Structure 1
Amino acid sequence: MDLNFGINGSISVEAARPVLVDTSTPIGIVVPFGDTDGEFKVFNSADEMKTYLEEKGATEDDLAYKTANAISLQNARGKIVVKFVTYTKDADGNDTTKQSVLDGLDVLKTAPQDENILTTPDLIICPEYSYDTDVAAKMDSLASLFRATAIVDVNAPDEATANSFANNFGSRYMLLYNGRSKAEGKLYPTSALIAGLIAYWDAGGDNGYDPFGYARSHSNRIVKGVSGSERIIEYFDGVDCEARRLRQNGIGSIVQDIGWRSYGFETRDIDPIWQSLERVRAFHRWLEAIIEANKWARDRSADQLVWVKKTCAEFFRKLTGANIALGYEIYLDPNLTDVTAGKFTFVLKTANMPSIRELNFELVFSDDWNNAFVNWINSI
């Protein structure tokens, strides 16, 4: 029965929802350390991880400490999720820590649901041990699940061996980097340095807060603290050299080029479109943000799709206005939409702003001005 007395009111929404991209870059690490009893921990910073290790008796030569310090050297901000494993040997004295690392990756897989962690890593490293096909392959699997990036140490003694190792992989979720690097008079795992570099620039880098750091290439960045490499990597502008050949095969390097800089931000995906790591990372973050912003529409009346479309349009309009996307188009695909069944598919077309990977100059000698020169002389 209707009640016809009193004053009644209600509230409703007719507005596009904000699409918020998660710009944080948590780093997931599996690393051996002797006195942690295999703990699974989350730290708010690399310095906090260093303090914890110092309290546990770590020295500057411990791999876990080097890993934390490598990230700290880059001034990276953000959470670090660490699964510590123990060093093990078999009856013959052979190092069997690899299996502990593989098992540790299984534990890292639970990070988003573990009540003490509740963090999904965006970068995954297993310093030193990632230079093993089995470990790197499992890192790739986990990175694919998380839509993250596995950074792999390619500690090969020469170019041919590095290429042979790289040829085992063809994933858009892996970033391979060559060799160990010298920092503070010691050899550091390059994967940890690059992880810190990416996290730092994702958060805005040297120029203050950049909300789109995650969408940019982090090649040609100074890797702070680095003073050399374990193996000399030949690098020259404009000519064939080892660093350029390795990069062509999807292996980055830290090279000496007005300071020690990252050189390479490519995956080894078979599709050239997804060999650009910044494109892979941007598209996944955009997709996750769009899904999150539109969860409210699930099981609502279909006329609310108007606001779903407007929400997506507003998001891509802002990306285009900030020169992060080149443009966009949004429409319901009639071939993938069944109105009666309540199944709707929006197609979101866009393109990220590409980075300059090759810049060529052609300097041409010309005699076009010879007559002008003669006339000038004659006029004096």
Structure 2
Amino acid sequence: MASKYGVNIELYNGSNNPYKINNERPIAIIGDDDTLIEGLHLFSDILDALKETGSGSIKDTLTDLKATGLHNQIILSVFKKSDNTDTDATKCQNAIDELKKCEATLGTKPKFFLAVGYNDKGTHDKLKQIAAYLRGVYAIELNETKEAQINIALQKYSTKTSIITYQKVIRADKAVRPASAFIIALYAKTMSETEYGFSQTFSNRVIDGVIGIEDKVELIQGEDCEADRLRGKGVTLIIANDGIRAWGGETCNDDLFSSIHTYVIFYTAIDTIFKAQARAIDKRMRDVLKNVVDSLEAFYLRLKNNNVVVGFEISVPKELNSNETISEGIVYIRHNVQEMPLIKRIVNRIYRVTDYSQKLIEEL
């Protein structure tokens, strides 16, 4: 209780939470295991998870990740395998749904999703739902291996953050495995390299832990080819070009953006803004609104200075903020943001000329 006489001091925190980018990006593996109990499990590293798992699709996927040399937090959503394929597909889909409770149960939430070996359309749709719900990236495998068949299969898909693969690769221990886990590991590594690694792409980077490609794809630089056509439709390829590399990252039949990279940048910004502005809710508008806008501008300036965005403008437009909305405590803030584009193609125009012939005479 304050004193009746003399000087009293009251301390208030009028600031928002800091705009700190969360670079923890756990990988969720959904699959079967004959040792762990069904449900969610959290491990600080891949090696720790391998020690606790028995046989099953989870063990196989963890071994893929281990081969890449990745060190990352792992979340497992486990179910018991049966003798019925349809039953297992349903169990897998239920295990994907369990990840919605992940933050409440384990205190963290995944940003990458893998269900290697479960390639039915229902499972793919569930992965799409959970990735949208938690704003993450997932990888799926197509069963088709021929271009014409893949084109037909892709007509069923419309994805923002799905890495779609169909190739099998040869792991360092000579095992033939789906490519999806290796690409997710590559993306996780790329993002973890710096605070702003989320603005980088996995494409055109060497994949660790892979020594060969089982399903080879035609790639001819400067020419229409199979790899070029499939990449344009949203398939990520494994190519041999000065090492074994990932080649892709485009979205599939998405109306807004053509690149997964764009979504990851905006999803990361959205997550950061959610956490930073949470403290402003239920505070008096005059106390916090200017700080909210100033903090946003400082956040985007950091992104600009680190080549994540090209430019930005933050405003509180009068046309969006009427007397009625403001009196209800609702504020609309407009963000105009352009992300840093990736180079997708370099066009060299070479002209044969005769303008320099006289130099031959001048040299005499």
Matched, 1:332 2:316: yes
Query: Separation in 1 of the partners of 2:107 and 2:180?
Result: 24
Q: Tell me: CA distance 1:344–1:188, structure 2 relative to 1, closer, same or farther (3 Å).
A: same
Question: Hey, what does 1:175 align to over in structure 2?
Answer: 163
TM, length-normalised to structure 1? 0.89
Report what 2:188 is aligned to.
199
Aligned partners of 1:329, 1:317: CA distance in 2, in Å? Answer: 10
Deviations 1:126-170 (A, max 9, x none): 1021x3211111111111111111211123221122222222111
Letter of the 1:73 counterpart: A
Letter in 2 for 1:240: D
3-state SS, counterpart of residue 25 of structure 1: coil
Q: Which runs of 4+ in 1 moved over 3 A?
A: 12-17
Query: Which residue of 269, 285, 297 maps to 2:280?
Result: 297
Looking at structure 2, the residues matched to 253 and 107 of structure 1 have their Cα atoms a distance apart, in angstroms, of 30
Which residue among 91, 104, 108 is the counterpart of 2:99?
108
Instruction: State the TM-score, normalized to the length of structure 2.
Output: 0.92
Counterpart CA distance in 2 for 1:104 and 1:14 is 42
Q: Deviations over 1:325-355 (max 9, x none)?
A: 1111011132332222221110111111111
**Who is 2:141 aligned against?**
153
Report the secondary structure of 2:184's partner residue: helix
Letter in 2 for 1:44: S
Which residue is equivalent to 1:358? 345
Deviation by residue 1:166-203 (Cα, 9 ceiling, x = unmatched): 22111213221232211120112211111111111111
The answer as to 2:52 corresponding to 1:63 is no
Q: Distance in 2 between matches of 1:323 and 1:173?
A: 22
Residues 82-97 of structure 1 mapped to structure 2, 5 A cutoff: 82-90=76-84, 96-97=87-88
Q: Secondary structure at the match of 1:275?
A: coil
Is contact 1:30–1:126 with CA below 8 Å preserved after alignment? yes
Give the conservation status (yes or no) of the 8 Å contact 1:17–1:311: no
- The answer to whether the 8 A contact 1:155-1:180 is kept is no
Between the aligned partners of 1:333 and 1:175, the Cα distance in structure 2 is: 37
Count, aligned residues:
358
CA contact (8 A) 2:145 2:166 kept: no
Residue 265 (str. 1) matches residue 249 (str. 2) = yes
Kept in 1, the 8 Å contact 2:159–2:251? The answer is yes
Alignment partner of 2:188: what SS?
helix
Go from structure 1 to structure 2 and tell me whether the alpha carbon gap of 1:180 and 1:109 turns closer, same or farther (over 3 Å shift).
Answer: farther
1:77 and 1:357 map into 2 onto residues whose CA distance is 30
RMSD across aligned C-alpha pairs, in angstroms? 1.9
Q: Do residues 242 (structure 1) and 229 (structure 2) align?
A: no
Name structure 2 gaps, 5 residues minimum.
none
In the alignment, structure 1 residue 221 sits paired with structure 2 residue 205: yes
Structure 1, unaligned stretches of length 5 or more?
205-209
In structure 2, how many angstroms separate the alpha carbons of the residues matched to 1:41 and 1:322? Answer: 35
User: How has the CA–CA distance of structure 1 residues 238 and 37 changed in structure 2, closer, same or farther, with 3 Å as cutoff?
Assistant: same
Specify whether residues 283 and 269 from structure 1 end up closer, same or farther in structure 2 by C-alpha distance, changes over 3 A only: farther
Q: CA deviation at 1:251?
A: 0.3
Distance across 1 between alignment mates of 2:253 and 2:24: 25
SS in 1 for 2:35: coil
Report the Cα distance in structure 2 between the residues aligned to 1:3 and 1:152, rounded to whole angstroms: 66
Distance 2:40 2:254 in 1: 35
- CA shift in 2, pair 1:44/1:315, >3 Å: same
The secondary structure found in structure 1 opposite 2:50 is helix
